[in-house]
Chains A and B, each alone.
Chain A
Amino acid sequence: RKEVEQDPGPFNVPEGATVAFNCTYSNSASQSFFWYRQDCRKEPKLLMSVYSSGNEDGRFTAQLNRASQYISLLIRDSKLSDSATYLCVVGASGGSYIPTFGRGTSLIVHP
């Protein structure tokens, strides 16, 4: 399995700011991509899947760049409640059952 890399941060931003995270992956055969959110001392939960055409869910936008092998997550109008760790996940490929998790990017939104 190949690596998935993320900047660990922390990203410290004020409320209302726009912040973007990137995640690079090394397996060009990867077919599925996800962003998970993990609150402190809690389990990861799916934030959104990342589609080839990009997708948006409210203040969150995820994009995939296959040529450069990275995915991104953009958060607009940051809220205090957005403070969390964001995990990039690349789905398995080649018949494997095992997705690959990045180590996460920490976001702190302050008043």
Chain B
Amino acid sequence: DVKVTQSSRYLVKRTGEKVFLECVQDMDHENMFWYRQDPGLGLRLIYFSYDVKMKEKGDIPEGYSVSREKKERFSLILESASTNQTSMYLCASTLGSAQETQYFGPGTRLLVL
């Protein structure tokens, strides 16, 4: 079974803090994704990576950056957290093309005060 893990299930941070969310997959997947999910808005893509050190912006990259130094690990960074970044953050991976099944991590619920 593919396993995608995320570093925290719940996180509370203060406005202006730098926040790191980590995602690790154990199946040698090429592609990794970061989404946020908010009520009524569905899943929105923040960034994705199709290879080590490669990244591309999704629909809502503002206020976020990412890092993929190793194939299995994809980190999402909130440089200076703001209250409007309170959300559920989901990491996903796919083996090859995005025509394939996405495997999601359990999600991180981030609250920014």
Q: Which residues of A contact B (CB under 8 A)?
A: 8, 31-32, 34, 36, 41-46, 49, 87, 89, 91-92, 96-99, 101-104
Contacts and interface: CB of A to CB of B under 8 A. Distances in A.
Interface string B51-62: 000001010000
Given A42-B107, A92-B99, 7 more contacts: A41-B109, A44-B90, A96-B98, A97-B50, A98-B58, A101-B43, A103-B42
A43 B94 CA distance: 15
Nearest to A34: B101
B2 to A, nearest CB: 10
B35 to A, nearest CB: 8
Contacts, number: 55
Nearest to B88: A41
Interface residues of B, number: 24
B98 to A, nearest CB: 4
A28 to B, nearest CB: 16
29 contacts: A8-B40, A32-B100, A34-B101, A36-B102, A42-B106, A43-B90, A43-B104, A43-B105, A43-B107, A44-B90, A46-B101, A49-B101, A87-B42, A87-B43, A91-B97, A91-B98, A91-B99, A91-B100, A92-B97, A97-B50, A97-B56, A97-B94, A97-B97, A97-B98, A98-B58, A99-B98, A99-B99, A103-B40, A103-B41
Interface in B60-107: 90, 94, 97-102, 104-107
A85 to B, nearest CB: 10
